[in-house]
Structure 1
Amino acid sequence: MTAVVPSRDIVCSFQPSKTFRNHKEGTKITSIDFDDAGALLLTCGEDESLQLYDAKSGKHSKTLYSKKYGAHLARFTHNSTDCVYASTKDNDTIRYLSLHDNHYIRYFRGHKKKVIGLEMSPSDDQFISASLDNSVRLWDLRSANAQGLLTIPAPAFVAFDPAGVVFGVGCEQTAEILLYDLRNYDSEPFAVFRIDTLRGSNQPVPWTKLEFSNDGKNMLVGTRGSAHYLLDAFSGDVLMRFTGHNYQAMTGERQYVSSGDVCVSPDGRFVLSGSDDKKVYVWDIQSPVRDGAQRPIAALESKTPATNLAFNPRSLTLASADRELV
């Protein structure tokens, strides 16, 4: 099954079609994820629940509670009836859950502080996690033991390349992205990219996302600063900045690092971002660049702030969430 390629006119015409309020009123949704087929959508929230939706029919399917452990960063495995997610209380275990009958298949123990990054490999049953304990761990769904461990200078964002052979570790405190070969994960990174425009200040610009484009050529770094950044995935050069959206600088520690308020369309052409003015801004990377910056080609109505944003990998639909799912 191949993804539908969005045109500029189609992306600029996106508008809200349904709003879901299945999480407890007043609580934030902290992560959203589509399955591989784009048929299902899964959210986690501060209300310690996971909500499952049928993305094709636009209907809510099921509520699953994780009251004892909390729930964050739920990610579908390649089997759409299963997911992995991070605990938010009691301990910092990652849990492998059957969505079909709500039972745990396996537990992944090792992190000593809150998990802030969790990503499935696009090619197999491996996944990576990042934690406030300054570690990145590589796992396999078939084993409760970590397959690899990286100790890093500070908490980080993680992402797989589309082939599943490289993973990136992005550190906002040092404004660096470290690239590792999955086959030699215990070796030094084979590339270290420094984003100079995010360096040199006493207060680092908070990051919100690290993502590879589906063609593997680019990397997107989302921030809570005045711009998001597109990098060449091979050289690390900053290709362009995405500006023109509205943001409010963050102060204090974030309770949860969301699954990201910015994303790349499946064809790699468009970048979309939430904004504090309840709009979703769209940039076309094929548009002319002025002084290294791209201006939005559209501002889509969102009804609510989009602190989480995900593009359906197989159809022309976009999901956003804050306290409601749109």
Structure 2
Amino acid sequence: MIFPRSRRGGNAERSIRQRIGIGLLTGVLGLSGCASLPRIPANVVLRDAHNNGYTLAFDNRSETLATGGSEGRVRLWRLPDGKELSGWKAHTDSLQGLVFLDHDRELLSAAYDGTLARWTREGALLKRLNTPAPVTSMAADEAANLVVTGHSDGHVRLWRLADLSLARDLHPHRGAVRAVAYHAATDQLASSGTDGRVFYWRGSEEPRPLPAPPTDAQDLAFAPDGTFLMGSGWFNLFRWRLDNGGLQVLPTAHHGIVKSISFSRDGRTLASIGRQTDSAVYLLDAATGAVLKRFQPHELCGSFVRLSPDGRYLASTSDDASVYIWDLQNPLQERTFFTK
């Protein structure tokens, strides 16, 4: 979950950095920073795409990238060149989720203004739903006719995608929900919250807690085969075995929060992006957390990363208002810099 912008124009999450102290933060940034020198450059850099970039989604054919930001706009970009196809004001607050529907002809968005909205690719509104509380995370599957939303009130709500009617309302968390995940083939669901807890359930079961990770799970993702659940937090990845609930903590090269993760199709690798004192974008070994590839980092703290369905593209966005797109089939030459 990325918290919405405050009335003063900054992220509410900045209060965390303020509590750390400007002096300490400056020292940390001098060592690793929210910005560092690029390695594999992005093929396309979309500057000022949003006030702050918050979420991304590839269409099912890996031909279009949708992005959403703190100002409530949705924008669509053509791949691989990044030409803008359309854009519109979708919500009054920050976007927290996007997914393509109806053979990529439509788009579903979720936002901190508490609404879900269904759109044509050109931005024509088809349906809008006001939910009971700000949406902090969303997962959806068209084949299962399901939308899963996490909310600031600690609820996880399940909606029928066809008409956006409420199917189930759960209240597993004592604080805001940070992330929700859904695995369609096995009907598995998971959620994490600011209370530090992670819950797991199938279908109509009641959520049950998994072993608590050492820090809040900022993001969650099921392995493509559904055998384990991956989470991310400060410095580490969290890997839960779903046959016995066992938790394994995997260290990474990130110097702060691992804010967002995305599985490759085969489940062997994981894209990640850092936040707080780290804006690095990596491709990690999903079994060990080891870095396989290092990509150009953002200039400010990272927020979201996704691999395309066909595995060709990697995209990321951050507080620097930009969107980076890598064509993994046609990567640019890696650049290495040395500083004194």
For the criterion TM > 0.5, the same-fold answer is yes
Root-mean-square deviation (Å): 2.5
Q: Residue type of the partner of 1:241?
A: L
Q: Deviations over 1:225-246 (max 9, x none)?
A: 1212122232221244132211
Aligned length: 279
What corresponds to 1:194 in structure 2? 211
The answer on whether the counterparts of 1:95 and 1:104 sit within 8 Å (CA) in structure 2 is: yes
Sort the Cα spacing of 1:166 and 1:261 in 2 relative to 1 into closer, same or farther, 3 A: closer
Q: Deviations over 1:255-295 (max 9, x none)?
A: xxxxx522222211112222344432232245xx5xxxx43
Q: Deviations over 1:29-61 (max 9, x none)?
A: 111111222221111112221110122443221
Q: Deviations over 1:207-252 (max 9, x none)?
A: 32111011112211011x1212122232221244132211169xxx
What corresponds to 1:256 in structure 2? none
The answer on whether the counterparts of 1:169 and 1:179 sit within 8 Å (CA) in structure 2 is: no
Whole-Å separation in 2 of the counterparts to 1:134 and 1:241: 27
SS at match of 1:153: coil
The answer on whether the counterparts of 1:122 and 1:160 sit within 8 Å (CA) in structure 2 is: no
What corresponds to 1:167 in structure 2? 189
Sort the Cα spacing of 1:70 and 1:169 in 2 relative to 1 into closer, same or farther, 3 A: closer
What corresponds to 1:211 in structure 2? 221
Q: How big is the shift at 1:124?
A: 3.0
The answer on whether the counterparts of 2:283 and 2:293 sit within 8 Å (CA) in structure 1 is: yes
Identity level (%): 16
Q: Quick one: which of 85, 90, 103 aligns to 1:66?
A: 90
Q: How big is the shift at 1:174?
A: 3.8
Whole-Å separation in 2 of the counterparts to 1:297 and 1:67: 37
The answer on whether the counterparts of 1:263 and 1:309 sit within 8 Å (CA) in structure 2 is: yes
The answer to whether structure 1 residue 33 and structure 2 residue 57 are counterparts is: yes
Whole-Å separation in 1 of the counterparts to 2:156 and 2:96: 17
Q: Residue type of the partner of 1:284?
A: D
Whole-Å separation in 2 of the counterparts to 1:300 and 1:238: 28
Sort the Cα spacing of 1:142 and 1:277 in 2 relative to 1 into closer, same or farther, 3 A: closer
Sort the Cα spacing of 1:295 and 1:71 in 2 relative to 1 into closer, same or farther, 3 A: closer
Whole-Å separation in 2 of the counterparts to 1:285 and 1:134: 29
Whole-Å separation in 2 of the counterparts to 1:243 and 1:70: 29
The answer on whether the counterparts of 1:116 and 1:131 sit within 8 Å (CA) in structure 2 is: yes
Q: Residue type of the partner of 2:117?
A: R
Q: For residues 253-272 of structure 1, what are the structure 2 equivalents within 5 Å?
A: 261-272=260-271
The answer on whether the counterparts of 2:91 and 2:111 sit within 8 Å (CA) in structure 1 is: no
Q: Residue type of the partner of 2:110?
A: A
What corresponds to 1:148 in structure 2? 168
Sort the Cα spacing of 1:104 and 1:31 in 2 relative to 1 into closer, same or farther, 3 A: same
Q: How big is the shift at 1:188?
A: 2.0
What corresponds to 1:324 in structure 2? 322
Q: For residues 1-326 of structure 1, what are the structure 2 equivalents within 5 Å?
A: 15-24=41-50, 27-66=51-90, 68=92, 71-89=95-113, 92-100=114-122, 102-111=123-132, 113-121=133-141, 123-154=143-174, 155-156=176-177, 157-163=179-185, 165-181=187-203, 184=204, 187-189=205-207, 191-195=208-212, 197-198=213-214, 205-223=215-233, 225-247=234-256, 261-275=260-274, 276-285=277-286, 294-304=289-299, 305-322=301-318, 323-326=321-324
What corresponds to 1:4 in structure 2? none
Sort the Cα spacing of 1:105 and 1:46 in 2 relative to 1 into closer, same or farther, 3 A: same
Instruction: Give 5+ residue unaligned stretches, structure 2.
Output: 1-38, 325-340
Instruction: Give 5+ residue unaligned stretches, structure 1.
Output: 1-12, 199-204, 250-259
User: TM-score w.r.t. structure 1 length?
Assistant: 0.77
Whole-Å separation in 2 of the counterparts to 1:38 and 1:325: 16
Whole-Å separation in 2 of the counterparts to 1:174 and 1:248: 14
The answer on whether the counterparts of 1:16 and 1:302 sit within 8 Å (CA) in structure 2 is: no
Whole-Å separation in 2 of the counterparts to 1:319 and 1:235: 34
Does 1 or 2 have the higher relative contact order (CA < 8 Å, sep 6+)?
2
Sort the Cα spacing of 1:318 and 1:194 in 2 relative to 1 into closer, same or farther, 3 A: same
SS at match of 1:50: strand
Sort the Cα spacing of 1:243 and 1:315 in 2 relative to 1 into closer, same or farther, 3 A: closer
